[in-house]
Amino acid sequence: MSPQATTSQTVGPFFKLGLSWLYCESMVSDEVAGERVTIHGRVVDGDGVPVPDALLEVWQASSLGKYAHPDDTQDKPVEAGFPGYGRIPTDEHGVFRFVTIKPGPVPGPEGKEQAPHLVISVFMRGLLRRLVTRMYFPNDARNGADPILNLIEPARRSTLIAAAVEPPGSLEWNVILQGADETVFFDLGL
Amino acid sequence: MNSIAAYRPIGVGTQPNHLHPPYVSSIKRSPTKPLIQIPYTLSEVTGPSFESRLVSPAASDLTHQQHGDPLGERIIVSGRVLDEDDRLLSNTLIEIWQANAAGRYAHEWDQHDAPLDPNFTGCGRAITDSEGRYRFVTIRPGEYPWRNHYNAWRPAHIHFSLFGPAFATRLVTQMYFPGDPLLPVDPVFQCTADEKARNRLISVFDLETTMPMHALGYRFDIVLRGRDATPMEDK
């Protein structure tokens, strides 16, 4: 009998001890190509209280839409120096902030293109297993045809699309755990 | 066009629900709307690699990170990382963190009235070898009280974080110790409905990895999700 995936458990409140060595404020060095964006937002619980002990993990493609991974067999060069991974904690006000580049579009189901997006895991005390979500970019015409966004009821799609704010190049995107504006989370099994 | 092999669905009851009211923190932090089912795309079947990250062998010995020897019982925790197809996963990053022997974390938020140990940070990491193996030398963590409910105590545990080959295989879990009397009354350990799945979080005492006159050995194998054998034809 083949083994079964190990059960998930919460990160608890003290994960900083083991995980902070990979914390980053920026996912990109100066040499990396692409449009810089500074993304910030808050993680908020069901009482509207900011969560000071949450952790976001970001995975994304390069500006050409290429993942730095052997299973991405697209005929595009891997961008050296851009691993595409970021680990960002919330601060005492429940706020996270990081710099990255806007990725290019990547292939999706049925040969359809996916609009530029980040895939994001959310961890915190109180979550027995991670939450999985995505962040899309504002004012991008490709969002309308995105095969994943289109699986979501229209009224909730906006929870995954960041807002352009001042100064230029700044995006705001919040993780709302419960309530009317609850962020869309995906079922990937784990 | 593009065919992506999906990851297998998880077995019924083998993973916790987000909402588990006996674990009080889950009540205001778990989603209330149903999770949205999506197909696996290139974004989820790829993921970060840490092969190039320098993880020194010293990072897996939590008993030699400071000037002196930490207090408590030295133990060896080792095992293999594999997937649901019994494939050994090499080059996988494992990060661990834990309380010291007295049940206190070296974290500013831990207010438990137990001593800190200046010789123990409780943080380690390793990368699995070509046969999926890892090995940590550490101190057996102490049990500690928490505020979940009246007279609540966490069983001794070590937190584990793993990546595996893809975004879809990411796992954070906790390893427990055999015979711990707190396991039946711990809402975090008990959050998984399936008893066998739950019990796989309990390490096994292992004479083979026990070092004579030095340290007891515990084995903890970790299984990350596997993919369907045949790719789903997307078109």
Domain-embedded: residue B16: no
The residues pairing with A23 across neighbouring beta strands, listed in sequence order, are A87
Residues 123-142 of B with CB under 8 A from A: 123-125
> What is the average per-residue pLDDT within B9-35?
96
On the question of pLDDT at B1 being above 50, the answer is: no
Confidence at B3, pLDDT banded by 50, 70, 90:
confident
Give the model's pLDDT for residue B55: 85
On the question of pLDDT at A149 being above 60, the answer is: yes
pTM of the entire predicted model = 0.96
> B31, A72: Cβ pair inside 8 Å?
no
Domain-embedded: residue B67: yes
Residues in chain A, total: 190
Confidence at A1, pLDDT banded by 50, 70, 90:
low
Domain boundary assignment for chain A: 16-176
On the question of pLDDT at A22 being above 60, the answer is: yes
Give the model's pLDDT for residue B113: 95
Query: Which of these, B214, B189, B193, B191, lies nearest to B203 by C-alpha position?
Result: B189
Confidence at B230, pLDDT banded by 50, 70, 90:
low
Average pLDDT, chain A: 97
On the question of pLDDT at A132 being above 60, the answer is: yes
Q: What is the per-residue pLDDT across B57-79, written as a single tens digit (0 to 9) for each?
A: 889 999 999 889 999 999 999 99
Domain-embedded: residue B58: yes
- Which of B18, B42, B121 lies at the smallest CB-CB distance from A67? B42
On the question of pLDDT at A37 being above 70, the answer is: yes
Q: What percent of chain A has pLDDT over 70?
A: 99
DSSP state string for chain B: ---BPPBPPPPTTSS--S--TTSGGGTTTS-SSPPEE----HHHH-----TTS---GGGGBTTSSSSSPPSS-EEEEEEEEEETT--B--S-EEEEEE--TTS--SSTT---SS---TT---EEEEE--TTSEEEEEEEPPPPEEESSSTTEEEPSEEEEEE-TTSGGG-EEEEEE-TT-TTGGG-TTGGG-S-HHHHHTTB-EE-TTTPBTTTBEEEE--EEE--B-SS-B---
Give B129→chain A minimum CA distance, Å. 19
| Rg of chain A over all Cα atoms, to the nearest angstrom | 17
Domain-embedded: residue B134: yes
Query: Which of these, B103, B36, B31, B35, lies nearest to A126 by C-alpha position?
Result: B31
Residue B79: domain span = 24-224
Q: What is the per-residue pLDDT across B114-162, written as a single tens digit (0 to 9) for each?
A: 999 999 999 999 999 999 999 999 999 999 999 999 999 999 999 999 9
Q: What percent of chain B has pLDDT over 70?
A: 96
Give the model's pLDDT for residue A2: 80
The domain defined by A16-176 folds into: Protocatechuate 3,4-Dioxygenase, subunit A (2.60.130)
> What is the average per-residue pLDDT within A119-141?
98
CATH number at residue B139: 2.60.130.10
Give the model's pLDDT for residue B234: 44
Q: Is B155 within 8 Å of B142 (Cβ atoms)?
A: no
- Structural domain total, chain B: 1
Residues 200-219 of B with CB under 8 A from A: 200-201
Domain-embedded: residue B185: yes
Domain-embedded: residue B4: no
Give the model's pLDDT for residue B66: 87
Q: Is A165 within 8 Å of A40 (Cβ atoms)?
A: no
